[in-house]
Chains A and B, each alone.
Chain A
Amino acid sequence: GAVVSQHPSWVICKSGTSVKIECRSLDFQATTMFWYRQFPKQSLMLMATSNEGSKATYEQGVEKDKFLINHASLTLSTLTVTSAHPEDSSFYICSALGTRDQETQYFGPGTRLLVL
C-alpha cells in the first residue's frame, strides 16, 4: 500500500515552545493532506485540510494561529504547534489523498506530543 511517514514519532517539549511535525507521502503525490488529533478515548478529530500550494482549511474551533499548517509540495505537509501548552499534549496523525487513489486516505504512524 501507499506509504506515509511522520516525523518525529515522539516529542517532549517545554510549555511555550513550538513544535513542528512533518508528514511525507513517500511513494505518491499527495494532492490533499489531512491533520487529525486523537484524544485518549480514541475518537479522531479533523483539525484541518490542506491542498498543495494553498492555505489550509481549518475545522471550526481549531485555532489557525496556533496550529500552523504548510503544504509546500506534493509530498510534504507540516503542522507547527506554536507556543505549546500542556493541553496540546495529544496524538497527532496525518493522512494523504493523492494520485494513487483519490478516495482512499493513507495514514501516517502518528506523532505523540507531550508538553511539560
Chain B
Amino acid sequence: GDSVTQMEGPVTLSEEAFLTINCTYTATGYPSLFWYVQYPGEGLQLLLKATKADDKGSNKGFEATYRKETTSFHLEKGSVQVSDSAVYFCALTASSGGSYIPTFGRGTSLIVHP
C-alpha cells in the first residue's frame, strides 16, 4: 500500500535558520502531496500542497516541490521564526475507485529557539 516517510524529530533550530524536513513517499498512480501543520493543542491545518510532478506548493514562506523522480516532497523555509514551532505532517492522497484515500507520515516536531 501507499506510505509516507518523514524524518524523525524533534528538529531544533535557532530563529532565522534554514529549515528542511524530508519527506518521501511510495504510491501507485499519481498522488497529490500535502504538508499539514499542527500547533500545540489544535487540529491540523493545510500548509501547502502540490498535485502533479514539478509543482511547487508555497505558503507563509514554506515551500515544497513535487519530485516524482525521487518520490520526495521536502519542506523548506529560508528563515524560521519561533512561531513556526509546531508538528509538521507530510501526506498524500491517492485516488482509488473514485474515492480519495489519505496516507500520513508520523509527523516531525519543529522547535525554534529565540
A1: CB under 8 A from chain B?
Answer: yes
A51–B98 Cα gap in the complex (Å)? 12
Main secondary structure of the interface of B (DSSP, over half): strand
Give the one of A42, A93, A102 with max B CB within 10 A. A42
* B74-114 interface bits toward A, Cβ cutoff 8 Å, 1 = contact, 0 = none: 00000000000001010101000001101010110100000
A78: CB under 8 A from chain B?
Answer: no
Q: Can you pick out 14 interface pairs between chain A and chain B where the beta carbons lie within 8 Å of each other? A: A1-B46, A4-B43, A6-B43, A43-B106, A46-B102, A46-B104, A104-B32, A104-B34, A105-B44, A107-B36, A107-B43, A107-B45, A110-B42, A110-B43
B interface residues, Cβ below 8 angstroms from A: 32, 34, 36, 38, 41-46, 49, 51, 87, 89, 91, 93, 99-100, 102, 104, 106-107, 109
List the 4 closest A-B pairs by CB distance, nearest first: A107-B44, A109-B43, A107-B43, A42-B107
A interface residues, Cβ below 8 angstroms from B: 1, 4, 6, 32, 34, 42-44, 46, 51, 93, 95, 97, 102-110
